[in-house]
């Protein structure tokens, strides 16, 4: 090979290396963007399947009390009054206030629930027991710990207590299943007291292992929710 | 004395900066606390000594199998004011309607709640003396691990895995161990295993 060809080949190789050096970071960015887009689309599609609690303009505007974290006092909740059109139907109303709670306060640091968690279903049984079914993100995205999990559950209970008097106690499910804990600490096998008027102490204080000795109405509700949210 | 370093195995617990995981750190706290308690004459067992993850029930069983045991589960939160520690006990529940004298496994903590509160207050006082910003009084929370434990039982949660440097947590280890040892020493003279009321008398668990 003569010198002219060697120089020419070297020049081509150098140009190829420079082009690759410029092109590969751009390609990486594009792959990353495409991946994020796919994840967002999957999440969006999942949420679009969920029945969103409709906020009707015909519903009366109500000053709802939402319980979010206090910025001044660590580990405490503070009531924030939000004016919302709320249904008179207790199930719809529960969905509306819980969705507002999930949407979070203006100050993101005062959140008590993860921003990507969703309310999948909400039922109220004839005895006043509410059954709230949340998506997996409520346990996978919440900061792990006794304090943060306790604050999350309390914010749900206090928000329901203040806005939906028909809910006396609450069972929390995760993706249609009874969970042992929220994220490794706070016990979800129990029924939580929502309303001080609730006198059903025996039921409240009868936690049971997942899926086994649940009271019949709760077991039925768990099965209903499980079928509705089957992956 | 049963010390429970929470999580372990496939469950790392809270994860923070510098690759800190709750399951590793609590083991360090538990080992130091064990040494401090043994120096005070307590017999101490850990629910795990390596990176395994016994079930909640297996951990409770270590205390439930012994008469006169005390149970402390150790946690490190992912939130909270750095350098503080909180004590939790189970919320108040009515005593089970009992005709057998046996304690239902799911309600095992109920007869021990007042003792747990007493122990919790003593340990919290010691922690708040050593760690500024910690609460003066104990908190209540339905911690899953406590519910099935038939012994005075508390959860100690330290903040947090989100420290800037691992050394900040390491510096808390001797203080937490000392606070628990002191609280337990003060608690020991008052610990009488409670009786369970049954129709026609009472039964010792």
pLDDT digits (tens, 9 = 90+) for B90-137: 998 776 666 677 778 888 999 999 999 999 999 999 999 999 999 999
Is B86 within 8 Å of chain A by CB? Answer: yes
Instruction: Say if the Cβ atoms of B80 and A185 lie within 8 Å.
Output: no
- Please give the pLDDT value at position B200: 59
Angle ∠(B170,B173,B175) on CA atoms, nearest 5: 130
Contact B81 A180 (CB under 8 A): no
Give the Cα separation of A14 and A19 in Å (integer): 9
Which pLDDT does position A38 carry in this prediction?
57
Per residue in B173-192, pLDDT (tens digit) is: 999 999 999 999 999 999 99
A54 touches chain B (CB under 8 A): no
| ipTM of the complex in this document | 0.91
CA angle centred on B122, ends B14 and B84, rounded to 5°: 35
Classify the phi-psi angles of A224: left when phi > 0, otherwise alpha if psi is within -120 to 50, otherwise beta: alpha
pLDDT, average across residues B77-81: 91
Q: Which residue of B has its CA nearest to A72?
A: B81
* Neighboring chain B residues of A198 at a CB cutoff of 8 Å: none
Average pLDDT over residues B63-70: 93
Q: What pLDDT band is residue B19 in, cutting at 50, 70 and 90?
A: confident
Q: Which domains are assigned to chain B?
A: 2-203 (3.40.630.40)
**Average predicted confidence (pLDDT) for chain B:** 92
Task: Please tell me the predicted confidence (pLDDT) of residue B2.
Answer: 98
Contacts of A147 in chain B (CB under 8 A): 77, 79-80, 86, 139, 141, 157, 159
Residues from chain A contacting residue B107 (CB–CB below 8 Å): 205, 207
- Residues B50-69 have a mean pLDDT of 95
- Among A218-222, B3-7, B139-143, B151-155, which stretch is predicted with the lowest mean pLDDT? A218-222
Count of all residues that appear for chain A in the document: 231
Residues of B in contact with A205 (CB under 8 A): 93-94, 96, 107
Whole-number pLDDT of residue A205: 46
- Residues with pLDDT less than 50, chain A: 43, 46, 48-49, 51, 200-203, 205-213, 231
Residues of B in contact with A180 (CB under 8 A): 56, 144
Q: Is the separation of the CB atoms in B101 and B111 below 8 Å?
A: no
pLDDT of amino acid A217: 55
Do the Cβ atoms of B80 and A147 come within 8 Å? yes
Instruction: Count CB-CB contacts under 10 A for residue B197.
Output: 13
Answer yes or no: pTM beyond 0.90.
no
Closest-approach residue (CA) in chain A for B158: A145
The pLDDT assigned to B196 comes to 64
Is the Cβ pair A180, B155 closer than 8 Å?
no
Write down the pLDDT at residue A210: 42
- A109: tokens are 């640091």
What's the pLDDT score for residue B154? 98
Instruction: Report yes or no: A209 at the B interface, CB cutoff 8 Å.
Output: yes
């Amino acid at each position: 090979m003569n010198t002219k060809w060697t120089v020419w080949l070297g020049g081509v190789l150098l140009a190829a290396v420079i082009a690759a050096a410029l092109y590969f970071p751009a390609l990486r960015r594009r792959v990353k963007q495409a991946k994020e887009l796919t994840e967002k689309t999957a999440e969006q599609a999942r949420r679009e399947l969920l029945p969103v609690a409709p906020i009707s303009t015909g519903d009366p505007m109500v000053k709802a009390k939402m319980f979010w974290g206090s910025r001044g006092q660590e580990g405490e909740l503070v009531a924030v009054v939000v004016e919302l059109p709320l249904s008179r139907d207790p199930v719809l109303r529960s969905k509306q206030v819980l969705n507002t709670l999930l949407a979070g306060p203006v100050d993101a640091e005062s959140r008590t629930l993860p921003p990507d968690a969703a309310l999948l279903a909400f039922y109220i049984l004839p005895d006043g027991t509410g059954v709230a079914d949340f998506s997996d993100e409520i346990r996978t995205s919440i900061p792990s710990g006794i304090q943060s999990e306790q604050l999350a559950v309390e914010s749900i209970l206090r928000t329901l207590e203040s806005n939906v008097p028909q809910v006396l106690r609450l069972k929390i499910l995760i993706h249609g299943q009874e969970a042992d804990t929220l994220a490794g600490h706070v016990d979800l096998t129990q029924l939580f007291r929502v309303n001080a008027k609730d006198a059903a102490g025996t039921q409240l204080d009868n936690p049971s292992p997942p899926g086994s000795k649940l009271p019949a109405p709760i077991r039925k509700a768990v099965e209903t929710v499980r079928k509705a949210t089957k992956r | 004395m049963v010390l429970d370093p929470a999580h372990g195995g496939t469950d790392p617990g809270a994860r923070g900066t510098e690759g800190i995981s709750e399951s590793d750190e609590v083991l360090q706290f538990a080992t130091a606390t064990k040494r401090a308690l043994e120096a005070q004459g307590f017999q101490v067992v850990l629910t795990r000594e390596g990176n395994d993850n016994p079930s909640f029930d297996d951990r409770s069983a270590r205390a439930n199998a012994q008469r006169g045991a005390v149970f402390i589960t150790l946690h490190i939160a992912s939130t909270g004011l750095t350098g503080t520690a909180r004590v939790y006990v189970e919320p108040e529940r009515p005593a089970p309607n009992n005709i057998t004298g046996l304690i239902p496994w799911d309600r095992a903590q109920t007869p021990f709640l007042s003792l747990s509160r007493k122990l919790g207050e003593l340990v919290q006082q010691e922690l708040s003396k050593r760690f500024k910003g910690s609460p003066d009084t104990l908190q209540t929370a339905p911690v899953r691990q406590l519910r099935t434990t038939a012994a005075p039982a508390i959860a100690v949660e330290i903040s947090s895995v989100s420290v800037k440097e691992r050394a900040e947590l390491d510096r808390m280890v001797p203080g937490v161990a000392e606070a628990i040892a002191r609280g337990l020493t003060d608690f020991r003279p008052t610990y009488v295993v409670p009786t369970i009321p049954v129709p026609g008398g009472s039964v010792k668990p």
